[in-house]
Amino acid sequence: MGKTSKRRRLAQRLFLNKFFEYLFLAAILLSISVLLILVGDVLRKGLGSLDWSFITSMPSSRPERAGILPALLGTLWVIGLTALISIPVGVGTAIYLEEYANKRSWFFRIMNINIGNLAGVPSIVYGILGLTVFVQLLKIGPTILAGALTLSLLILPVIIVSSVEAIKAVPSSVKEGSYALGVSRWRTITGVILPMALPGILTGSILALSRAMGEAAPLIMVGAVGFVTFLPDGILDRYTLLPMLIYNWTSRPQDAFAQIAAAGIIVMMILLLITNITAILLRRKTQNRVE
């Protein structure tokens, strides 16, 4: 090979290198621009309808008068109840797996396979389970409680996995120090391990709950409705939620409903933003305390 052809080959390789660098960068920029277009589109369509009375009014068949109050309260009820159910169960499971279970036992192995698979089950399948077990078998009916139980099962794998990671990250020296002082296993867990693992557990749980907040599919299966004109005031009430109301409005052909659907999406996204920021702040605050 001559010197010039060698040089040409090098130039070619460097050109290809640059070319693909920009191609890969373009892939990322395309994804991010979709994010911007989506947010811009929702804001453009929805901001016009978003005012205080939109948040404090009942839904209505006349879009210019419709509001989201029952859906907003429904979301808060269901997500609040989901948190009360799923976090204790998820953290309890994580504690058992990390601190009690023999890691070579069949139970531990089955649990791990099981949690991995549950995380991949489509959310609508949880809806079918909820419909059969909670709504029909246990006769809870299409109520807030049934919705919260269903969502709890849906996000349980996420909470377990993040709690296990958080507990694992607690240095074993701290734990052993506690045992060396004669402290019992449960007291060590509640007094030493959980406080240190709390930031991770909370962050994981809040992120899981924010995922549940945007879910509609499983709740359609367990009988959440798209349109109600009363406010929920107990866990055995019928209910609607923000994603359900948005779905209901989106599936109507009139343009005015698309606009209030967009306004509803803005409210839901603000709620999601608040939960996510809370997760980040909580993590920071607790981290400082532990250190």
**Which residues inside 257-286 make contact with another protein, applying CB under 8 A?**
258, 261-262, 265, 268-269, 272, 276
Binding residue (CB under 8 A) for another protein from 7, 8, 92, 285? 92
Q: Which of residues 49-78 bind another protein (CB under 8 A)?
A: none
Q: Residue 165 CB, nearest distance to another protein (Å)?
A: 14
Q: Residue 32 CB, nearest distance to another protein (Å)?
A: 5
- Annotate 159-181 with three-state secondary structure: HHHHHHHHHHCCCHHHHHHHHHC
Task: Number of residues interacting with another protein: please give it, by CB under 8 A.
Answer: 83
Nearer to another protein, 281 or 290 (CB): 281
- Residue 113 vs residues 74, 103, 157, 165, 217: alpha-carbon distances, Å: 34, 13, 11, 16, 25
Q: Which of residues 1-60 bind another protein (CB under 8 A)?
A: 13-14, 16-17, 20-21, 23-28, 30-32, 34-35, 37-38, 41-42, 45
CB atoms within 10 A of CB 120: 7
Q: Residue 256 CB, nearest distance to another protein (Å)?
A: 12
Question: How remote is the C-alpha of 235 from its chain's centroid?
Answer: 21
| Binding range to another protein, per CB under 8 A, among 49-57, 163-171, 192-200, 207-215 | 207-215
Token duo for residue 225: 């409705």
Q: Which of residues 148-187 bind another protein (CB under 8 A)?
A: 153, 156-157, 160, 184-186
Nearer to another protein, 84 or 110 (CB): 110
DSSP letter for each residue of 203-241: HHHHHHHHHHHT--HHHHHTT--S---S---STTS----
Dist. CA 281–CA 237, nearest whole Å? 34
